[in-house]
Amino acid sequence: GAVVSQHPSRVICKSGTSVKIECRSLDFQATTMFWYRQFPKQSLMLMATSNEGSKATYEQGVEKDKFLINHASLTLSTLTVTSAHPEDSSFYICSARGRQNTGELFFGEGSRLTVL
Amino acid sequence: AQSVTQPDIHITVSEGASLELRCNYSYGATPYLFWYVQSPGQGLQLLLKYFSGDTLVQGIKGFEAEFKRSQSSFNLRKPSVHWSDAAEYFCAVGAGSGNTPLVFGKGTRLSVIA
């Protein structure tokens, strides 16, 4: 159990366009979802925390108008990279925590964004 | 502030040899500790976790880790490494409550040679 799915796994877009990444909890209700960003050969850096039905809380230095996060239901959160630029190219990983709140986070497979 | 230190950026071991990956943490409360593994271009897979109780925890793929409060450490071990264990390993710490994320170390890349 506790499967988190991300889509798309890979996306290439032109500079200036917007890209949406979906994160779904397939077999549990995710009360809280976290979005991380990982640059090549680096660790995961938290971008934002979202709770269902509430506005996301962004980490310092993360532009909330550029990285739009929506957590409209208990099984879906989306990250939209608006007006993407090459420096936004990265590996984006979502994670979710369920109602049972065991402390563990369940991670999606990640989405690799390449902005040309 | 909470933090995780993985002192070794890259470790190379021979197949069949034992392995220990180091992890030290700084946390204000009782920590929830995790080890994840990541293959290139993939997401994270949980190897094991410690919440409370027995300080030696067993995980998947033959891995184990020992929580040592006095040393603020949670080192990962495996008695005999397989070539398929080559990957990036991340130690993480969190509080376990709803809005608290996990904080990750910088990771240790494991290479396995024949």
pLDDT tens digits along A28-74: 888 889 999 998 888 899 999 998 888 899 999 999 999 999 988 88
Is the distance from CB of B104 to CB of B5 less than 8 angstroms? no
Separation of first and last alpha carbons in chain B: 41
The secondary structure of chain A as a DSSP string is ---EEEE-SEEEE-TT--EEEEEEESSS-EEEEEEEEE-TTS-EEEEEEEETTSPPEEPTT--TTTEEEEEEETTEEEEEE-S--GGG-EEEEEEEEETT--S--EE---EEEEE-
Mean pLDDT of chain A: 91
| pLDDT at residue B98 in the model | 65
Alpha-carbon distance of A111 to A90, in angstroms, equals 8
| pLDDT at residue A33 in the model | 92
| pLDDT at residue B42 in the model | 83
Question: Of B96, B105, B106, which is closest to A103 when you measure between CB atoms?
Answer: B96
**Stretch A16-36: mean pLDDT, rounded?**
93
> What's B18's DSSP letter?
-
Nearest residue in chain A measured CA to CA from B42? A109
Residue B43: list chain A partners with CB under 8 A: 6, 93, 107-110
Residue A101 pLDDT greater than 80, yes or no? no
Confirm or reject contact between A92 and chain B (CB < 8 A): no
| pLDDT at residue B95 in the model | 76
Q: Which residues of chain B have pLDDT under 70?
A: 96-98
Nearest residue in chain B measured CA to CA from A57? B99
| pLDDT at residue A19 in the model | 97
CA distance A46 to chain B (A): 8
Least confident stretch, A8-22, A46-60, A94-108, B68-82: A94-108
Least confident stretch, A9-18, A25-34, A83-92: A25-34
The alpha carbon of residue B48 and the mean position of all alpha carbons in its chain are separated, in whole angstroms, by 8
| pLDDT at residue A25 in the model | 92
Residue A103 pLDDT greater than 80, yes or no? no
